[in-house]
Structures are given as C-alpha cells and as structure tokens.
Amino acid sequence: MIKESLFAAEEREAKLDRLGDVLRVMEEHVDFKALAAEMDRIVPRPGRERGGRPPFPTELMVRAWVLQNLYGLSDEQMEYQVLDRLSFQRFLGLRRSSQVPDRTTFWSFRERLTVAKAGDALFEAVHRQLAQHGYIARGGQMVDASLVPVPRQQVTEEERQLIKKRAMPVGWKPAQRRQKDTEATWTKKHGQSYFGYKVSVSTDRRYKLIRQVKVSTAAENDTLHLEDVLDHANTGRDLYGDKGYVDGEREQRLKAQGWRVHIQRKAKKGKPLSACQTRRNTRIARIRARVEHVFAALEQMGGKLLRGIGLDRATFQLTGKAAVYNLRRLCSLKACGVVAF
C-alpha cells in the first residue's frame, strides 16, 4: 500500500536536497541578478503602453534561458518541463505560482536578445563573474574549431547560384524565405560534406573555461579565426593548436609579439613527418586535448544543435551555449574544491 502524506511536496524537496540538486549549487555560485541587470541595460523590458499582462521578471527569463542551454531543450520541451519538473520550478521561483511562461514567451525573450546582439554582453557578464571568483585565464590557451551542422536546404542549382551572390530567388514566397537558411555554407572535412556554421573557441589550460568565441560559416577556414579568438588576458603566453592552424608567416608574427606557439606539424605529399616532429605533435596533443573535453561537455548539454535560421541566431545561440558551459564549469570547479590562484 502506498503511503500518503499531507507533507509529500515538502518531503520530496528535502530528499531532492539530500540527493544533490545541481541547480541549487548553481544558485549558490552564480549572481543571476547581475546577469538580469545586464540584460535590462542592453534590452530594456517591453512596456505596457499597449496593455496586456506584465512581462515576467528578467531574472526568471535569464534563469529559463540558462536551463534551455544547460539541457538542450526546445521551447516546447521547456514549457512542459517547467510544468512537470520540481527542480525547474524551484530554480525559477515558480513553485507556488499559477502563472508559468509558455513556449512563445521563451521564444520572444530569446529573439529580443538575438536582435539586440546581446550574446557577447551575456558572455562578458559571465566572464566577469568568473573573475570575481578568482578564475582568471591562466597557463596558456588552446584554440580549436568545430562544425555545427544545420538541416540541408532543398534548392535548385539556379537558386543555389543566386544565394551564393547574396540574392534572393524571386519565386520564393515570404513563408518559404523564412524557412531557408541562406547564410549557412557547405564545407568538406575528412571527405564528408557538411552544411552549416563553425564555432571557434579559445580555452585556458588551467581551468578549461571558454575565454573567446567566434561563430562563422562552415566554409571559412579554421586558421582565419585564430587571432580572433586569441585571449590576450591569459597570464600564460603558450598557444596550442592542431594542424589546421599551420601558417608559418603568422607563427613568426605571433612569436615576435611574445607568444610561444605550439602548432602541430602537417605532413606533406611525399614528405612524411620526421620522428622528432611526430614526438612534438604527440606532446602538443596531450595538452591540446583539453579543448576537446570542452566540446565533449557541450555535447552533453544537448550538443551544438541550432534552433533558428541565419548567422545572427547561430552566433547568439552558440555564444550563449559557451556562456552557460562556463557557469556549469564554475560550479564543477567549486564542487571539486579547485582553488583559484
């Protein structure tokens, strides 16, 4: 027989705390009020001149945005989980509220931030909180890039040529235009074709926190964005990268600026790597692998899935995902007792 209790809800909450609620840990270390204040500064809350119900507090919406990125949830999934999941309700402060944001509310908030290009501001606001905890960039940095595939477009060859020229086919209806991603591009990697975008990051060696982010189309070469993501604030001058960043002229320029460049060497046709170069590549790979751990963690957070069309939305979503990864990493560092120094 199942035991009933008048205090069942409170007992569940107490057990949840004993088991360890990761969202409670995040609340302990993250200043969501500061993040909300930054958003209100960049994207002021909509007024009520036209009537209607008042908007939800910015802090609540920022927390919801963090949850969506942390668990890779769509707007529809987020609406359901908020209604169903105790830990989400506590985290959002909706445990005893009769009003809950719906899928349209989540979409509208994210779209306002996208239009205002608020991704960089959010990322920097998180970065400031990392610094307040003492986790500044140390020990050098690793750079890497990863492809972000999006659904392939069904277009004719004539339409494809027009899109390459940044023109819109005249036969497309407005609804059709909204569903076509004309900014994503094709590229090949290891003989396989990909359609979408690319995200380049710089991660510090000491704490494995993302320090710089750059989003581009898939066709742009990795090496073009190395200096875009170079973190000049890192206390170390060591820079690690894979074979995709080989550029002799740039390496000389960076060395002249005081950087210690560790880029893996690439074999040429008919000229294999020497034993010394192979050993050097192995030494670099052991350190550079730490940035692969970051991409693996992003995969656990729902991967690099994009829910939107166009470079602006891709930039906001991927920059936001990096910011939330840093919040999650901050909590892990605190939980593991990693002391900032």
Q: Tell me the C-alpha distance between 327 and 224, whole Å.
A: 28
pLDDT 10s digits, 104-145: 999 999 999 999 999 999 999 999 999 999 999 999 999 999
DSSP assignment of 262-278: EE----BTTBPPPHHHH
Q: Are residues 185 and 311 in the same domain?
A: yes
Q: Note the pLDDT of residue 158.
A: 67
Q: Which residues contact 222 (CB under 8 A, 6 or more apart)?
A: 144, 145, 198, 200, 244, 245
In a domain, 289, yes or no: yes
Q: Are residues 202 and 274 in the same domain?
A: yes
**pTM attached to this predicted model:** 0.90
In a domain, 123, yes or no: no
Q: Are residues 199 and 265 in the same domain?
A: yes
pLDDT 10s digits, 279-293: 999 999 999 999 999
Q: Are residues 31 and 172 in the same domain?
A: no
Q: Which tokens go with 311?
A: 């470079």
Q: Are residues 167 and 75 in the same domain?
A: no
Q: Which tokens go with 281?
A: 């590549």
Total domain count for the chain?
2
Cα dihedral sign for 271, 277, 279, 281?
negative
% of the chain surpassing 90 pLDDT: 60
Phi, psi of 327, rounded to the nearest 5 degrees: -65, -45
In a domain, 77, yes or no: yes
pLDDT exceeds cutoff 80 at 99:
yes
Structural domain span for residue 58 = 8-46+53-116
Strand ranges in 114-228 using DSSP code E only, listed in sequence order: 141-149, 185-189, 192-204, 210-217
In a domain, 124, yes or no: no
Measured between alpha carbons, how far apart are the two ends of the chain, in Å? Answer: 55
Strand partners, 299: none
pLDDT 10s digits, 174-213: 766 667 777 888 898 888 888 889 999 999 999 999 999 9
